[in-house]
Amino acid sequence: MPVPKPFPSAAKLSFACFCLLLTAGCQQQPEPQPAKEQLAGVNVQHEAADLSLLCQKLEQDMLEINNQRTTFALEQVNQDLKVCLPLQDLAQQRRLLQRSNEMYQNFLQAERSPVQQLAFEQHAFDMAQHPTIQQSHFEQLALRDQYLLKHQGQAYVELIDAGQSGLHYRRSPEYLAKIFAPYMPEAERIFIENLAQQNLQPAFRDQSLLIDAPETARRALFWEDYIQKYPKSSYLQDAQQLLYQYKVFLFKGLKDTPVSGSYAGRLDVQAGTAEEMQKIAKLKDSALALQAGRFLNFLEMSPEQRQQAAGGQSGLSPWQQLELHLNLRNPAPRYKKDCFSDAVCR
């Protein structure tokens, strides 16, 4: 009968364990890894450095955009603006806004020969009349026109009909509303967003008003309210001029779309104008409401009463008499900016 093997002694077990530990200790140990906090700190420093460099180069990148560049290059600059604008104060933001105006002006330039100019006008006219028809004279256009026409709608590039001024490219008013306004102080943001919306479609073309009395009144009331809410806005003077212009549209109209010829009663004004004046006149805390009431009062005056209301002056036209009766004055007679093409006046 075989004799069973004895269990290993405690001394032998201890020796075996010691050998295993020794073997494990001889294997290569992994290098110590930096703490997560250290890695995060390094990444933040790199990102801050990259962002600082990006924003330092941004203005130069904008200056380098010209009529040889692509919409892709333009969109890249616009993306960089979205990154950098939140880091700027209002003065710096407005400086970059001015640079963006110059950037698009340079980008949209198209040099044409007289033949190419005619081809451009004819092509644009045909596109407006028959947008789905491929134009046979496209190859006669200047190369820059061919490029810009193919890329309309990209990077906020538009082609618009400016009436007697002809067709031309422009940067959509939505550009400033979407690229700049979200990062600006409230007063500036509200101004840009609302002017952009108003100017998406022209308020007038040449000497014809393209918006009706209710829309004209709505815009005038908006600018009156804006002036009351934001008296310290950097766009205050522009808002005052917009209010004045919309009052002129509302009470007078334009040469080809006058509100009235002689203001001889409510039937002698454009359809809907008297009704709109009645609505406005009921508003409270509004200078425009007071003027609307005086407008309605003027319609009922006799020629003698009108002359008396005009301080006894003779030889004035009905509009001049009404202007005096309403005390409607241009707040800045030398103001020369265009407030009806973009999201800012310039």
Q: pLDDT by residue (tens digit) across 103-131? A: 999 999 999 999 999 888 887 777 667 66
pLDDT of residue 7: 41
Q: Is the alpha carbon torsion for 295, 273, 255, 331 positive or negative? A: positive
For residue 269, what is the DSSP state? Answer: B
Distance CA 66, CA 191 (A): 29
Residue scoring higher pLDDT (285 or 4)? 285
Longest dimension (CA), the chain: 148
- Residue labelled with tokens 């005056």: 301
One-letter amino acid at 261 equals G
**Do residues 126 and 135 lie in contact, with contact meaning Cβ atoms separated by under 8 Å?**
yes
Q: Is residue 202 pLDDT above 90, yes or no?
A: yes
Helix axes 114-129, 143-150, angle to 10 degrees: 20
Mean pLDDT (the chain) is 87
Residue 299: band (very low, low, confident or very high) from pLDDT cuts 50, 70, 90: very high
Helix axes 36-63, 71-84, angle to 10 degrees: 130
Mean pLDDT value across residues 283-301: 97
Over pLDDT 70: what percentage of the chain?
A: 82
Distance CA 132, CA 171 (A): 23
- Number of Cβ atoms within 10 Å of the Cβ of 68: 11
Q: Which residues of 46-64 are buried (b: 16+ CB within 10 A; e: fewer)?
A: eeeeeeeeebeebeebbee
pTM of the model: 0.83
Q: Reduced to 3 states, what is the DSSP secondary structure of residue 241? A: helix
Tokens of 324: 């005096």
Mean pLDDT value across residues 86-111: 96
Tokens of 272: 């809907």
Q: Reduced to 3 states, what is the DSSP secondary structure of residue 133? A: coil
For residue 31, what is the DSSP state? Answer: P
- Closest to 50 in 3D by CA, of 84, 27, 92, 90: 84
Most confident option among 13-22, 44-53, 85-94: 85-94
Distance CA 287, CA 227 (A): 12
Residue 248: band (very low, low, confident or very high) from pLDDT cuts 50, 70, 90: very high
Mean pLDDT value across residues 159-179: 90
pLDDT of residue 134: 56
Beta strands in the chain (DSSP E): 157-161, 167-171, 204-205, 208-209, 253-254, 257-258
DSSP annotation string for 186-213: HHHHHHHHHHHHHTSS-SEETTEE-S-H
pLDDT tens profile 36-80 = 544 444 455 556 667 889 999 999 999 999 999 999 999 999 999
Mean pLDDT value across residues 247-255: 98
Q: Reduced to 3 states, what is the DSSP secondary structure of residue 158? A: strand
Mean pLDDT value across residues 11-26: 42
